[in-house]
């Protein structure tokens, strides 16, 4: 569209803006009612982490669980196996009973009834696995 003869659109816009500025923006803003005397910072958006690459080379699973690390074949342990149907293993100190149970089930296909653990004076964890 061609502009009308005699008026220029840019000057007309500028004149309208000038009138509005001179008139002023007389809006009445309502004040927020505060119910507490303590000021709290607003809770802002916390976005979850989305890394572009894995932060560690290992998967998040506990890669130190090589359970059971070694079975004990001492005479006392053999007596436990025969009399009480209990296997004795040395496991990682950081392993808990659930992890030991899952590892034994995965490695040997054995249903575990109960697990007792103790930490020896040499700071090794011993697991008594009741079948």
Q: Tell the residue number behind the tokens 């009445």, with chain if given.
A: 28
Query: Measured between alpha carbons, how far is residue 80 from residues 23, 44, 71, 87 in Å?
Result: 97, 60, 13, 7
Predicted local confidence at residue 84, as pLDDT: 83
Under 8 Å CB-to-CB from 126, ≥6 apart: which residues? Answer: 72, 88, 89, 90, 91, 117, 118, 119, 120
24 in any annotated domain:
no
How would you class 91 by CB atoms within 10 Å of its CB: exposed for 0-12, middle for 13-18, buried for 19 or more?
Answer: buried
91 in any annotated domain:
yes
Predicted local confidence at residue 59, as pLDDT: 62
Query: Measured between alpha carbons, how far is residue 67 from residues 17, 70, 91, 123, 127 in Å?
Result: 78, 8, 6, 16, 10
32 in any annotated domain:
no
Domain of residue 120 covers 83-130
Domain harbouring 122, CATH code: 3.30.70.330
In order along its 131 residues, the chain shows pLDDT tens digits of 555 665 567 889 898 888 888 877 777 778 889 999 999 999 999 999 998 988 877 666 655 556 666 677 778 777 777 788 888 888 888 888 998 888 888 888 989 999 999 999 999 999 999 98
H or E segment to which residue 114 belongs: strand 114-119
13 in any annotated domain:
no
pTM strictly above 0.85: no
Domain count, the chain: 1
41 in any annotated domain:
no
């Amino acid at each position: 569209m061609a502009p009308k003869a005699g008026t220029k659109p840019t000057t007309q816009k500028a004149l309208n803006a000038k009138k509005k500025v001179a008139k002023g923006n007389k809006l009445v803003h309502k004040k927020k009612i505060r119910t507490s005397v303590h000021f709290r910072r607003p809770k802002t958006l916390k976005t979850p982490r989305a890394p572009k690459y894995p932060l560690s080379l290992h998967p998040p699973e506990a890669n130190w669980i090589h359970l059971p690390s070694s079975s004990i074949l001492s005479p006392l342990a053999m007596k436990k196996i025969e009399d009480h149907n209990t296997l004795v293993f040395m496991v990682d100190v950081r392993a808990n009973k659930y992890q030991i149970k899952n590892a034994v089930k995965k490695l040997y296909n054995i249903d575990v009834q109960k697990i007792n653990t103790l930490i020896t004076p040499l700071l090794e964890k011993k697991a008594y696995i009741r079948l």
